[in-house]
Amino acid sequence: MRGVSDPVLRAAKAYQPLAEAEWARLLVSYALGLDLAGYVEGLAANITSSWSGAEGLAQAFYLAGAEEALRLAQELWEGDVEASLYCLALAHAYTVAAEAWAKSGSDLLLGEVGERAGELVAEAGHTWSYASLILGEMELNSLRLRAAGVAYQLAKSALARGEALRALMHAVRGLSLAEAALDEAVIKAAGAVKAERLCNYARKLALRSLPRQPPALLLLLLKLGESSSDLPLKLLAYRYAYNAARAAPALPARKLGGGETAVSFSLEAWASWLAAVALAAFLALCALAAAPKRALNKG
């Protein structure tokens, strides 16, 4: 991303311009009356096929995000088309991110996660139910709580099918989203001072949960939290980092000079790769906007 010198932060935010470019393209397609059913079906098929070979922490995290965004897009379609299309664009960007992690060869492979998946799915369900009760009493509407419900339902379904990794990642995301929804309620009720304390607590919790040699995904999530000026987004990033760390096994550290820890995944290369994809999507958007309407309608 231009203007961002930190390679970790660049990698953490690399999918965002791709999602925004794809959203713009989808908005143009919708405005021109193009049928998006084939797009949705293709995206769903891509996500499903990608799960069959998924083994890594980051790949599964982004695949779960893509599946949740796709489901949320379908739920939002009748009430908010623009938000629904953004969820579709986000699902697309997450699938690209998952593919990049799969090709990197440096993702943390999780192995057997059946027991951990069952535990976190149960915790995600309890937390979502509790958050629903609290926010309901406060008469607060939260898109994050709705997304948490989507993630939990997908986690339950995956667990019932015996897809432990899929269930685990949906549980990680659903639990984090439900916790973030509760955080939003606290911020609304207690104000900015208590919100800063809550952020500090969530950050310390995430840092303490890190394995001695943290996987690259956890570094990305922590960097998102550190860099964000939006308190709810900062808290969500820390919640993601904490719960993703709980899903990852502790690894022995290979200490470098100054107590640093080695991370073999090329964050700079990953960010550059996604940025190139985003540019291609933007150029495609320009071509789409310049094309005659009748030619687009034939598609």
Which of 116-120, 139-143, 158-162, 258-262 has the lowest average pLDDT?
258-262
Is the domain of 76 the same as that of 46?
yes
Residue 263 in domain: no
Question: Per-residue pLDDT for 19 more than 80?
Answer: yes
pLDDT band at residue 5, thresholds of 50, 70 and 90? low
Q: What is the pTM of this model?
A: 0.82
pLDDT at residue 8, rounded to an integer: 67
- The whole-angstrom separation of Cα 70 and Cα 181 is 20
The count of other CB atoms within 10 Å of the CB of residue 177 is: 30
- Count of structural domains within the chain: 2
Question: Distance between alpha carbon 214 and the CA centroid of its chain, in Å?
Answer: 18
**Within-domain flag for 88:** yes
One domain for residues 152 and 170? yes
- The pLDDT of residue 194 is 81
48 CA to centre of own chain:
17
Instruction: Return mean pLDDT, the chain.
Output: 83
Report how far residue 275's alpha carbon sits from residue 58's, in angstroms, rounded to the nearest whole number.
18
For 161, the token pair is 């099918």
Mean pLDDT value of segment 103-127:
90
98-102, 122-126, 190-194, 237-241 — which is least confidently predicted?
A: 190-194
Identify the CA nearest to 152 among candidates 124, 113, 126: 124
Shared-domain flag, residues 39 and 2:
yes
296 and 240 in a single domain? The answer is no
Q: Is residue 260 one of the residues assigned to a domain?
A: no
Asked whether residue 206 is domain-assigned, the answer is yes
Domain of 35 in residue numbering reads as 1-107+268-299
Tokens 């952020």 found at: 199
Q: Which of 115-119, 214-218, 230-234, 253-257 is predicted with the least confidence, judged by mean pLDDT?
A: 253-257
The verdict on 117 and 87 lying in the same domain is no
Q: What is the pLDDT of residues 176-192, one digit of tens each?
A: 999 999 999 988 888 87
222/177 same-domain check: yes
pLDDT confidence of residue 211 = 83
Rounded distance between C-alpha atoms, residue 133 and residue 84, angstroms: 26
- Tell me: do 134 and 244 sit in the same domain: yes
Question: Are 159 and 90 part of one and the same domain?
Answer: no
pLDDT (mean) for 15-25: 92
Locate 120 and state its tokens: 């976190």
Q: Are residues 158 and 228 in the same domain?
A: yes
